Amino acid sequence: MNRGNQCDVLVIGSGAAGLTLALTLPTEMSVTVLSKGELANGSTYWAQGGVAAVLDSSDTVDMHVADTLDAGGGLCREEAVRFTVEHSREAIQWLIDQGVPFTREKQADLSDGGFEFHLTREGGHSHRRIIHAADATGAAIFSTLLEHARQRPNIELLQNRVAVDVITEPKLGLPGNRCVGAYVLNRDTGEVDTFRARFVVLATGGAAKVYLYTSNPDGACGDGIAMAWRAGCRVGNLEFNQFHPTCLYHPQAKSFLVTEALRGEGALLKLPSGERFMPRFDPRAELAPRDIVARAIDHEMKRLGIDCVYLDISHKPADFITTHFPTVYERCLAFGIDITTQPIPVVPAAHYTCGGVMIDQHGRTDVPGLYAIGETSFTGLHGANRMASNSLLECFVYARSAAEDIASQAASVRYPLDLPPWDASQVTDSDEDVIIAHNWDELRRFMWDYVGIVRTTKRLTRAHHRVELLLREIDEFYSNYRVSRDLIELRNLALVAELMIRSAMTRKESRGLHYTLDHPDMQPEAVDTILVPPTYVG
């Protein structure tokens, strides 16, 4: 199906949030979903752990809320936490209804109202409440939702499309502040197309690619955050970047994430000597929240001058390991590591962007007609530290809420006027792409060194000087040469890096994922870091 570059709803991003929204919208609304590369290239596909929800009879909404607030370091917005958790069961039921093959209990007794699906436990959770599909939950969810989307005649899925910028009425010199579409690079033709839409949804994921070592796929470049900022949207809490404590340490593994569910099922973190170290850092040991575990690993690696630590689940029965963690088992085995008999070498890596574009409970940003959902957004759910498996839940709850809000407005919002085409008349083809590659590498290295797990004022100041220089160079390059995926991503990543650094410099305390040696204590009052763009109209 090809309807041209016009639709009711333009969804930029094809992961869990974007596909859920597309499938929840009324079938009479035309929806176009854009993917930067292949449809399965986003973070959803690679998510191993699962989805947190109140599903067991011994668990309650209040318990899940309390665990999330505790992990969030005092910065969670309780109304957002409660909204998300209260809608968790219906979101999971929707996924079950779609046919997501969640792992079932081998001998479930449903006669007394028992739950037929297997629930696991992860760091920060006081109960087993993680529903999963073995250790490849993301792939199971994504494949199921994608198959449904392909069968819907009102949904068009376009691959190899990179959004350059959203289009707002002020950019066109029109009255009002509504978002009316987007400029999108077609990587197959090399041309920038103009998409006209009544509603635009940013579901582009996070910005962990700003760091040298990350568990995220290559497309996690903060595109939605950067586009929203340029459109006039506020951003919040971008200093809180979660580092997953356990990514496989191997020269050929490219930061393969080892699911937290291993620790939930009894895996132990050890030094090369075989000594456990987590009990020295937190009474919850391996089940402490991710920021504590990541800092502990970072501390031990620096203290001892070692390249990695080890995650050991080999004391569990081999059939238990291969049944519950087939993906991790097979992937490690491919690198010569048999996790049924050997510990796994692991290091922390950038994993999740807790801050993002500020939205309300319907996914609405500061710009009318522009929505943000998933990791792109800042809902207030995660606070200063995301609790494991709350992120996928957030995707489903807020995507469904945004879809309902869009549907409620459908009759009252008209199509925008014809939009001007992308102007490439003043640019030429670049003969110096080495500049892009060099700047890309420099940015990610100084972010890792200066704005990583442990920070100082001097490091942040140094990073800010570097990023300001890079932004000027990138802006000059962007103004003179034709856009490419690499240039668009570098432009967005550098902008988001600058926003992250500014946010970190603003926070004169250590809280959650933001830890600075110059301000090791928490301030008595927890305050969000909100940055306001020059184009913000309130």
Q: Which residues are catalytic?
A: 290
Place of tokens 């050997």: 342
Helices 137-151 & 390-409 angle (0-180, nearest 10): 20
Helices 16-24 & 390-409 angle (0-180, nearest 10): 30
201 neighbors 363 (Cβ within 8 angstroms): yes
> What gap in Å lies between CA 88 and CA 483, rounded to an integer?
41
* Beta-strand pair 51-52/241-248: unpaired
> What's the distance, CA 352 to chain centroid?
5
Question: 92 phi and psi, to 5 degrees?
Answer: -65, -40
Mark out the alpha helices in 25-109 (DSSP H runs). 43-46, 61-71, 78-86, 88-98
Question: 468 phi and psi, to 5 degrees?
Answer: -65, -40
Q: What 3-state class would DSSP assign to 23?
A: helix
30 neighbors 36 (Cβ within 8 angstroms): no
Strand order in the sheet with 130-131: 51-52, 130-131, 119-120
241 neighbors 537 (Cβ within 8 angstroms): no
> What gap in Å lies between CA 12 and CA 185, rounded to an integer?
12
Cβ partners under 8 Å of residue 341, min gap 6:
314, 318
Question: 384 phi and psi, to 5 degrees?
Answer: -90, 0
